[in-house]
Structure 1
Amino acid sequence: MKELPRRLILGSGLTWPNGTYTQTFFGVSPQESAASQLPQYAAGSGLRDVHFNVNASYKITPQWSANVAAVVGRLEKFAAGSSITERRLDLNGMASVAYRF
């Protein structure tokens, strides 16, 4: 019996956005503060997050394969200190089955 391919991929990374991006997603302007009661927050450029990911795939048959993936990330610097941020740690997962024609 021929062994079918399996694959495990591990990786890490970081995100370093500019100030416009960070202010858009994590900043709170005076107008937004007045409307939301959140404190004003000026966000600048710099490290947004660090993350680690794992992806595993298994070829069940020549046509069918299964895949699972997980990513854990932690907000840093301006993103972590924002009055919008509720938690610094984020975990995402995905599972799929694919058929190749």
Structure 2
Amino acid sequence: MGRLDRNISVEDFRQLARRRLPKSIFEFVDGGAGQELTLRDNRAGFERIRLVPRVLTDVSRPDLTTTLWSKTYPTPLVISPMGSCALVRPGADIAIATAAAARGIPYT
């Protein structure tokens, strides 16, 4: 098992990034613009979402497909372009777009 396998939540990955990135880059990636009002609103919105485990449900053939704008996608994910990905890893924006395309995930 690789070191990344030990991270199971967004917060786990956030703390890993905090340890690995230079402080100024982590603060840029982790923060928001201005007074971070939108960032706080987004986090609060996600905190209101509750995932309810479905116990004793057949999971032998999971199906994550979803339909957005009359088109079916393999997962309920959409990736939007993010500025300054190269601060974290050179070529990251191309790698993200390539991986998304290979898996049929929309990259807007």
Provide TM-score, normalisation by structure 2. 0.24
The structure with the greater share of residues assigned to helix is: 2
Q: Which has the higher contact order (CA 8 A, sep 6+)?
A: 1
Q: Which has the larger radius of gyration?
A: 1
